[in-house]
């Protein structure tokens, strides 16, 4: 069961700081099926496709944040995952959302090596879930996210065990 945005750390922080730019620690998870296709969810709010992802809450590790986000958005339990990249460049990781809130995102990209459970097509945060070939990704919520998804999979393909830092 996910918490509401207003009750989340970011929701509470936004009540205090308004729309000014803040640093947000976030996670993104690559989950591949046996055919090498990547899992995408259609988000409840904007009905656009994205990878399982979200912001870290207070009192949780970045690894626990990734496990929670995957569970909330897909119903799957992460058993093992590898951190493959950290993105923090202000030139590529800063954006303004549709409400005028500014973010500088530090994103931790995980490859989920092992999971259990049954994929849920709809959760509190998603209305659909499908596996897509990496060369035929679904429509993202923005051109920024479409480019980021392509970058994530490019980095996944070149990952050789050494953490990618940007």
| pLDDT tens digits, one per residue of 129-152 | 999 998 888 887 778 778 888 999
Strands 53-55 and 164-165, how do they pair? unpaired
- In sequence order, what DSSP letters do the residues of 70-94 get, joined into one string? HHHHHSPEEEEEEEEEEE--TTTSE
Q: Which 8-state DSSP code applies to residue 148?
A: H
Interval 106-126: pLDDT, tens: 999 999 999 999 999 999 999
Phi, psi angle pair for 139, to nearest 5°: -65, 125
Provide the residue ranges of all domains of the chain, joining segments of one domain with +: 20-165
Q: Give whole-number Cα distances, 1 to 4, 78, 89, 90, 155, in Å.
A: 10, 16, 32, 32, 31
In this prediction, residue 1 carries a pLDDT of 61
> How far is C-alpha 74 from the chain's CA centre?
12
pLDDT at 75 over 90: yes
In this prediction, residue 92 carries a pLDDT of 87
pLDDT at 96 over 80: yes
Task: Give me the CATH topology for the region 20-165.
Answer: Nucleoside Triphosphate Pyrophosphohydrolase (3.90.79)
In this prediction, residue 3 carries a pLDDT of 83
């Amino acid at each position: 069961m996910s918490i509401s945005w207003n009750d989340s750390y970011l929701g509470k922080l936004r009540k205090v700081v308004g729309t000014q730019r803040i640093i947000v620690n976030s996670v993104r998870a690559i989950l591949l099926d046996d055919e090498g296709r990547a899992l995408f969810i259609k988000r409840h709010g904007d009905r656009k496709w994205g990878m399982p992802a979200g912001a870290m809450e207070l009192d949780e590790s970045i690894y626990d944040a990734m496990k929670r986000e995957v569970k909330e958005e897909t119903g799957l339990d992460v058993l093992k995952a590898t951190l493959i990249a950290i993105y923090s460049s202000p030139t590529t990781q800063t954006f303004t959302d549709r409400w005028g809130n500014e973010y500088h995102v530090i994103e931790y990209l995980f490859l989920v090596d092992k999971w259990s459970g049954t994929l849920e097509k709809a959760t509190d945060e998603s209305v659909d879930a499908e596996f897509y070939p990496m060369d035929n990704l679904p429509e993202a919520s923005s051109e920024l996210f479409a480019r980021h998804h392509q970058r994530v999979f490019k980095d996944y393909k070149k990952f050789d065990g050494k953490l990618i830092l940007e």
